Structure formats: structure tokens, C-alpha cells
Amino acid sequence: MKFADRLNRLGTETAFAVAATATEWVAKGNEVFPFHLGDLNLPTPENISAAMHRAVSEGKTGYCPNAGITPLRAALAQSLGKQRNVLFTPENIAVQPGGKPVIGKFLRSVMNPGDEVLYPNPGFPIYESQIEFNDGIAVAYRYLDTPNGFQIDLDYLESKITPKTKALIINDQQNPLAAEMTDAEREKLANLANTYNLWVLSDEAYFDIRYAGESKSIVSLPGMQDRTVILYTFSKKFAMTGWRLGAAIGPKEIVDRISRLNTNEESCTAQFVQWAGVEAINGDQSGAHELVRVLKTRRDATIAGIQTVSGMRVHTPNSAFYVFPEVSETMARTGHDDLTRFALDALHNSGMSFCTRRHFGRPVIDEKGNYIRLAYSGIDSSQIDKGLSRLAEWVNSK
């Protein structure tokens, strides 16, 4: 028996493999400090859970419109439009079971076989996977590690645009770098999209996870509303990763196509989950605010802990819940020249479990440095302190 060839082009989230290795190490009786998965160990706010229970008991358990229930589409249009200073209506919203499905549905709506799509690398690994699975050519753009943090190498990105380039994927408040665009970077990207007539997927999964400053969206810039689809998700902002609720937000013409894909793939997103989403957007926001407060404490603990580990260099991000330290000196000190081996030895010697740069897309040619990603969303501050002091003990004793 043979399987379909197209599956060979489908990637995966290899972070889940790191989780499996960590689980094995726990099963052998060891303590593990889980910095590997971008999940939250914090509860969904009570008012949101109560709204879901209410919807179930009211019988809101059947099929519903493919693009989502109107109250949720209206709530999202109003709230996101206000935050981003653009006018959205319910027709601009296609509700999804999570943020992730937006990626493949966006690509299938705009990309023909052989079209090129620019995507961030290191970046969320599903971009590369979905571009290639859907017969496109994945063209990576890269970041520069500057004293002001990670910045997109804009000259490099522009040099990769060809007549076949169809779309640009951007992810401000970036995973895994926690990089953020400056106004100038965002404006330059908007200029490129307008000049070369590109569709834009703006992955805004971490837009509201912010400790200082203000999030901005490329959709607010001139000419962008007609060519931008926003990936919106409830997963991170409201600690709802397992609920699977998100939305594609963009021009009606593309939202209609995405909704047709909904019809073919899921019919609709669970109706009672959507009613919980209405409460999340329109109801009391104190749960979401508390979540950001806790995450900020964890960010501070993570940065402080990293600074005690010899040879690690890290930027302090103001958004998302990741840090991406450079560890070349730490590796040299502990006798490593291979990043994967370093991560495994760190687990075995300190219990610290984390992903490395290799989990976030195929490395770009000529890439410099060795980086790891610590996600501090799924681990309490006291465990952050303990894990990083164990890591420091191991590294600093060498």
C-alpha cells in the first residue's frame, strides 16, 4: 500500500517532540522545568467558561453559520476595528477553530502552485509547512540581531521578491524571537506590499500580550486593509489554547473564500465555544489583564535567571511570552558544538527543557549564532527561578 506524496511536504511542530523527551525524563524520576511549549498553565477566565456552560444549557449545540455566529463576528469587527483604527464589519470576519487554520486557508485562497510566499525564519514552523504542502515555494526572510533587539533584514527580504511572489507573512510580537517591528519596519513592509502587489498575512496571535508600549497592526497603514488578512486567536490572550477559537479577518472577497473552506472542512466552529468568545470580547476583561500581569512577572524572572548563566546573551522583550537567548559561549564553556546535543545535555544536567532555533524553520544560509527559545507561559515563577539556577549551576561549574 502506498500513501499520498503530498504528505511528504507537510512539516510538523517539532516542539511536541521536545515535550515527549521531557516526559520521558520525568518518567525516569527527574524534575523537569518546562520551557518548551507555548501553552499556558493559567486558567481561562471564569466569566468565559460560565458563558460556554450557559450556551450549552441553552441548547446552542447544533450547526451554525460557516463563517461564525453573527454576534461573535460583530464583536470581533467592532473590537479589532477600534484597536487598529479601521472599519471592519461582520462580513470581514470568518471564525475559525483556532488561529492556526487561518494560515493554510489564507494560502489556499491566494496562492497557486509555484507561487512564492515570503515568511519569517526563525518563525512559527507552520508557515513553511503549509506553503509547501499547498504547492507553493517557501522563501525565508531573516532577522538581524542588533543592540536594539531582533530586526527584519529588510534589504534581504526585498532582494527575495520576484515576479512570482504572491504573499508576505508577517508576525509582529514574534514567535520565537519575541521581536517587534519599529514603525519604520512596518511602513517599509507596507510599502513593499503595495509596490509589488502582495497579499499579507498578519499573524497577530500575541498582539494583546504586552508589558510595555503599544501594539500596532500593518492593517492600519495606507493601502493595507484591501490586501491584509489578520490571524486572530483567543488562545493566548484569554488562556484558551485548547478551546480552539480564532478568526481570519480581512477583505470580504477573501473571507468569503475562507468561509467556503470552512464549509468543506469543519462546517463551523463549535457554537457554544463561539458564545464563550462573545463573552471574552464583550465581557469583563479583568481575567485577561491578570494573565498579562502574571506573564510579566515570569518574563522578569526568566530574564533575571538567564543573566546568571555564564555566556548567555538575551534581549528583554515587551510582548509575547518567549525569550530567544544566544548561547554560543555557553555551549563552548560546556564543551558543545551542536545545539541539539546542548539542549539534551541541559535537560539531563539541569532539568531545563527548551526548544532550539532548529524547531522554527529550516535555517537560512549563512546564519550566525546559536539560539534557544524559552517559553515562560507554562511555568510558575518559582520554578523558573529554580530551573535557571540549576542551569547556572551546571554551566558555571565548567
The widest CA-to-CA distance across the chain, in whole angstroms, is: 63
Instruction: From 184-192, 230-238, 286-294, 371-379, give the range in contact with ligand PLP by CB under 6 A.
Output: 230-238
Contact between 233 and ligand PLP per CB under 6 A: yes
Structure-block grid coordinates of residue 7? 504528505
Q: How far apart are CA 29 and CA 199, in angstroms?
A: 50
Q: How far apart are CA 64 and CA 215, in angstroms?
A: 33
Closest residue to ligand PLP using C-beta atoms: 99
Of 121, 171, 259, 334, the residue at the interface with ligand PLP (CB under 6 A) is: 171
Instruction: From 81-89, 93-101, 293-301, 339-347, give the range in contact with ligand PLP by CB under 6 A.
Output: 93-101
Count the Cβ atoms, other than its own, within 10 Å of residue 210: 18
Contact between 38 and ligand PLP per CB under 6 A: yes
Of 149, 246, 250, 378, the residue at the interface with ligand PLP (CB under 6 A) is: 246
Q: How far apart are CA 318 and CA 210, in angstroms?
A: 6
Sheet holding 355-356, edge to edge: 322-323, 372-375, 355-356
Q: How far apart are CA 114 and CA 134, in angstroms?
A: 9
Q: By rule CB under 6 A, what string of x and - marks binding of each residue 255-294 to ligand PLP?
A: ----------------------------------------
Complete DSSP assignment for 42-103: SPPPHHHHHHHHHHHHTT--S---TT--HHHHHHHHHHHHHHHTS---GGGEEEESSSHHHH
Q: How far apart are CA 233 and CA 219, in angstroms?
A: 16
Contact between 106 and ligand PLP per CB under 6 A: no
Instruction: From 94-102, 180-188, 217-225, 375-383, give the range in contact with ligand PLP by CB under 6 A.
Output: 94-102
Contact between 203 and ligand PLP per CB under 6 A: yes
Q: By rule CB under 6 A, what string of x and - marks binding of each residue 114-153 to ligand PLP?
A: ----------x-----------------------------
Contact between 34 and ligand PLP per CB under 6 A: no
Please name which of 174, 243, 250, 169 lies closest in space to residue 205, comparing C-alpha atoms: 174
Contact between 205 and ligand PLP per CB under 6 A: yes
Contact between 359 and ligand PLP per CB under 6 A: no
Contact between 302 and ligand PLP per CB under 6 A: no
Q: How far apart are CA 75 and CA 195, in angstroms?
A: 33
Contact between 175 and ligand PLP per CB under 6 A: yes
Q: How far apart are CA 377 and CA 240, in angstroms?
A: 13
For ligand PLP, give the closer residue by CB, 272 or 322: 322
Contact between 305 and ligand PLP per CB under 6 A: no
> Long-range pairs for 364-367 at CB < 8 Å and ≥24 separation?
364/121, 364/140, 364/142, 367/142
For ligand PLP, give the closer residue by CB, 38 or 305: 38
Contact between 387 and ligand PLP per CB under 6 A: no
For ligand PLP, give the closer residue by CB, 166 or 244: 244
Contact between 357 and ligand PLP per CB under 6 A: no
The SS3 of residue 295 is helix
User: Under the rule (CB under 6 A), what is the footprint of ligand PLP?
Assistant: 38, 98-100, 124, 171, 175, 203, 205, 231, 233, 235, 241, 246
